[in-house]
Amino acid sequence: MTADTSGTDWTAPWQEVVDAVGRDFLDGKTTWGGDPVEAGAIRRYLEPLELDCALHTDAAAARAAGHDDVVMPATGVIAWTIPAAWQPGEVLFDSDERNAQPVHSAINNADLGLGPKTTGFFGTDIELDFDREVTAGEHLGRRGKRLVACKPKETGVGRGAFMTWESEIVSRPAGVADAEPEVVGRIRIGTYAYVPHPKKEAAR
């Protein structure tokens, strides 16, 4: 870490973010996954894991256990809540630079509209709670983005804040856009947003 010799409190700009704990930064808006859950996607998810369970592979066995269709393993659900990164007619990469970044991403460090600007960002942890299993034939999304914790901290990579965000995982039948979303679980994601320490020149 670098020592602060300026005499200023670098954490002060983070206070308005700390004060915003409890706020839903999406005001209850739902972002839907790019595709509905379907049996073929479940099969492809199972293949590299060789996850052999009749609830995931046999519709009759799943229905006998009280489900509407084959069940998506809980560890795979999050992928079906992520919106499509690209749509026909859009430009996702507007640069051919080697380390070019997409114009927009569902998993980037979005500007909060308050607090300090940060340029570094990574995920730290993830936690999922489910009210029930998700099956083929459902379309999943995330509703809301509530800030549940913000802790400013200087680390070896820079100065920033550890934040925890919570959203509801909601479902509607595939192809029924006007259906009332049903809450099937909750997701909490930990992140660290920071300003990197200045790079030191290599000793000659």
Digit-coded pLDDT (tens) for 130-148 = 999 999 999 999 999 999 9
DSSP classification of residue 80: G
Within-domain flag for 1:
no
Residue 55 lies in a domain: no
**3-state class (DSSP) for residue 115:** coil
Residue 31 has φ and ψ, to the nearest 5°, of -110, 120
User: What phi and psi values does residue 159 have, to the nearest 5 degrees?
Assistant: -115, 130
Average model confidence (pLDDT) across the chain: 91
The average pLDDT across 54-58 equals 97
For 126-172, the DSSP string reads EEEEESS-EETTEEEEEEEEEEEEEEEEE-SSEEEEEEEEEEEEEEE
Is residue 7 a part of any domain in this protein?
no
Is residue 201 a part of any domain in this protein?
no
For range 173-179, the mean pLDDT = 94
Whole-number pLDDT of residue 1: 44
Q: Is residue 65 part of a domain?
A: no
pLDDT of res. 47: 96
Domain assignment present for 69: no
pLDDT digits (tens, 9 = 90+) for 75-93: 999 999 999 988 899 998 9
Report residue 126's pLDDT band, with 50, 70 and 90 as the boundaries. Answer: very high
Residue 63 inside a domain? The answer is no
Task: Give me the number of domains the chain comprises.
Answer: 1
Angle (CA) 12 14 19, round 5°: 110
Cα separation, 204 vs 201, whole angstroms: 9
Cβ proximity of 115 and 159 under 8 Å:
no
> What is the predicted pLDDT for the residue at 2?
46
Q: Give CA–CA dist 78/80, Å, rounded.
A: 5
**What pLDDT band is residue 111 in, cutting at 50, 70 and 90?**
confident
Structural domain of 135: 12-37+81-196
Does the pLDDT of residue 62 top 70, yes or no? yes
The answer to the question of residue 49 being in a domain is no
The residue with greater pLDDT, 99 or 139, is 139
Of the two residues 112 and 34, the one the predictor is more confident about is 34
Task: For residues 10-17, give the mean pLDDT.
Answer: 96
Report, as an integer, the average pLDDT of 48-71: 96
